Chains A and B, each alone.
Chain A
């Protein structure tokens, strides 16, 4: 055991394998949870038929998706069309490597963890663009372009919001930020931290292509955006990567702003981290089923007129706080 933990390669391999398996299983049941909650919000019951409370519905869906024929359109770029779904899920899951689930449960304690997470989160726009380009479909292409535009725009306030805990903690390591919060209080408890957390969550919604920022997908305008031509397991992988990205973003929000694995009553730190992640995901889902989609220009106006100046201001305040503290 100690050999595994001391060897960085083995450590990464073991933790990575466990993390990916757990995350993918979690993503399956997260879809069940989301459908249940959406049902209750819309006066429905959600899945009820497959298994107790419809709990086995994700498995039924996965089996159905695997049985289907994966069709590649005649004039599509075959290689890129095949490449896009695995790339999407790879980028989505790669972010999970730096999330600290407790003091020891951590795949890779990078010195630049926050940067790494944000970089991979931002990279997600590329496989979406690849999918849109490779489909050889106007809707898909438009969706891909919108995804890139939105991803690039929202990357800026997102990084600046993440700069607030980085500035306060004085480190770019995720574990370091959590340890700072264990020592001197959660970042969300300070006014600037709370504002930055809210801003980060908003931009993360846009980054993850979730409603109300699902302009790339925009069912009523673009059929299904970049995933229009995808079916069967290809589409399922896109859907799974969207959920994986949502869950991981929720975990990042918990780590950066909600104190990570810090908690009370001597409960296991892992449990605290999972509970906080679940809570953030609940909020994300709740928002998704409550709000309407932004228009393209509203989206850009929100980003450049409010979020970017607001984020700049927050970074400034955090910097002043730190320099006053000495």
Chain B
């Protein structure tokens, strides 16, 4: 009887699957939209005046974990402004060993090297996978292909959390070091505070960050005294 039931169950499961819409995308014929942050290949950018952004500082060459970047640099007058500055005479990136870690993009002081979303043609030989300087500048020509980040954007994202959102993750203060008044949770946090009945030490630990967050928020924006509920939960937990 049990076998019969499970037979019917599996028959139903396969029937449902057979009638559902197929999820397969027939790749060579149909191309799925790429994920917004996909990174596939590299490009070297130029500034608005058409001057090369790369100053030949070799930071990318040094940071590269798989040592696939080779830069030959020299100082020479700019063809646009005429001022002498560093230039990359030759810039080679070998994609065969590249691990797509994006560290070269992160360290670039002038946002010269960036990543691009697609490498449309796959390589048919090893030479195809070596990005010479010409290929890198050519890759940068269509701006739609640029990946989402360059060094500046990545730097913004990697700033320490306290500077951007101070109330997000304040360090829990030890219970003994923070003698909080028992009334504090009730006054500072109206409704969203965690219940203080869980454990004997819970009120103190839970209350300390809550009040901490509350004072910080109050100090930053005097108009709103009560802290945002989302921050409250994180501080309490």
Interface centre among B10, B13, B18, B23 (most CB of A within 10 A): B18
B11–A290 touching, CB < 8 Å? yes
Say if the beta carbon of A37 comes within 8 Å of chain B.
Answer: yes
Tell me how far the C-beta of A296 lies from the nearest C-beta in chain B, rounded to whole angstroms. 16
Across the interface, do B11 and A287 meet the contact criterion of CB distance under 8 Å? yes
B9 to chain A: closest CB distance in Å? 9
Closest chain-B Cβ to A305's Cβ sits at a distance in Å of 12
Count residues of B near A (Cβ-Cβ below 8 Å): 12
- Which of B11, B17, B26 sits near A48, CB closer than 8 Å? B26
Residues from chain A with Cβ under 8 Å of B18 in the complex = 37, 40-41, 286
Q: Is A1 positioned at the interface, with any CB of B under 8 Å from its CB?
A: no
Residue B187 is within 8 A (CB to CB) of chain A in the complex:
no
Alpha-carbon separation in the docked complex, A289 to B22 (Å): 17
Contact A291 B7 (CB under 8 A): yes
Q: Are B24 and A286 in contact (CB under 8 A)?
A: no
Main SS of the interface on chain A? Answer: loop
Q: Nearest chain-A residue to B15 (Cβ)?
A: A286
Are A43 and B17 in contact, with the CB atoms below 8 A? yes
Interface mask (A16-41 → B, CB under 8 Å = 1, otherwise 0): 00000000000000000000010011
B residues engaging A (CB < 8 A)? Answer: 7, 10-11, 13-15, 17-18, 22-24, 26
| Complex Cα gap A286–B13 (Å) | 11
Q: Does A45 sit within 8 A of B, measured CB to CB?
A: yes
Contact A45 B10 (CB under 8 A): no
Which residues of the partner chain A approach B10 to less than 8 Å between Cβ atoms? 290-291
List residues of chain A with CB under 8 Å of any chain B CB.
37, 40-45, 48, 286-287, 289-291
Assembled-state Cα–Cα distance A325/B25 (Å): 61
Closest to B7 in A: A291
Residues of B within 8 A of A289 (CB): 14
**A-B CB contact pairs (8 Å), 23 listed:** A40-B17, A40-B22, A41-B17, A43-B17, A43-B22, A43-B23, A43-B24, A44-B22, A44-B24, A45-B24, A45-B26, A48-B26, A286-B11, A286-B14, A286-B15, A286-B18, A287-B11, A289-B14, A290-B10, A290-B13, A290-B14, A291-B7, A291-B10
Residues of B within 8 A of A40 (CB): 17-18, 22
Shortest CB-to-CB span from A288 to chain B, Å, is 10
Chain B nearest Cβ from A72, distance in angstroms: 39
Measured between beta carbons, the chain A residues less than 8 angstroms from B26 are: 45, 48
Alpha-carbon distance between A41 and B22 when the two chains are bound, in angstroms: 10
Compute how far the CA of A286 lies from the CA of B18 in the bound complex, rounded to whole angstroms. Answer: 9
The closest CB in chain B to the CB of A292 belongs to B10
Closest to B9 in A: A290
**Smallest beta-carbon distance A146→chain B, Å:** 21
CA–CA, A291 and B15, complex, Å: 12
| Interface pairs A-B: 4 shortest CB-CB | A290-B14, A40-B18, A41-B14, A290-B10
Say yes or no: B22 contacts A45, CB within 8 Å. Answer: yes
Instruction: State in angstroms the CA–CA spacing of A68 and B22 once bound together.
Output: 34
Nearest CB in chain B: distance from A258 CB, A: 19
> How far is B7's CA from A289's CA once the two chains are assembled, in angstroms?
12
* Alpha-carbon separation in the docked complex, A161 to B175 (Å): 80
Tell me, rounded to whole Å, the shortest Cβ–Cβ distance linking A318 to chain B.
Answer: 23
Residue of B nearest to A289 (CB): B14
Q: How far is the CA of A289 from the CA of B18 in the complex (A)?
A: 11
A40 CA to B22 CA, complexed, in Å: 7
Q: Which residues of B contact A291 (CB under 8 A)?
A: 7, 10-11
Apart from the given pairs A41-B18, A44-B22, A45-B26, 17 other A-B contacts in the complex at a CB distance below 8 Å: A40-B17, A40-B18, A40-B22, A41-B14, A41-B17, A42-B17, A43-B17, A43-B23, A43-B24, A286-B11, A286-B14, A287-B11, A290-B7, A290-B10, A290-B11, A291-B7, A291-B11
Q: Which residue of A lies closest to B22 (CB)?
A: A45
A304 CB to nearest chain B CB (Å): 16
Q: Which residue of A lies closest to B19 (CB)?
A: A40
The residue of chain A having its C-beta at the shortest distance from the C-beta of B6 within the complex is A291
Chain A residue with the shortest CB-CB distance to B28:
A49
- Among A45, A290, A291, the most chain B Cβ lie within 10 Å of the Cβ of A290
How far, in whole Å, are A41 and B17 apart by their CA atoms in the complex?
5
Q: Please, which residue of chain B has its CB at the minimum distance from the CB of A287?
A: B11
CA distance A45 to B20 in the complex (A): 12
Q: Would you give the shortest CB distance from A143 to chain B, in whole angstroms?
A: 25
Shortest Cβ distance from residue B147 to the other chain A in the assembled complex, whole angstroms: 31
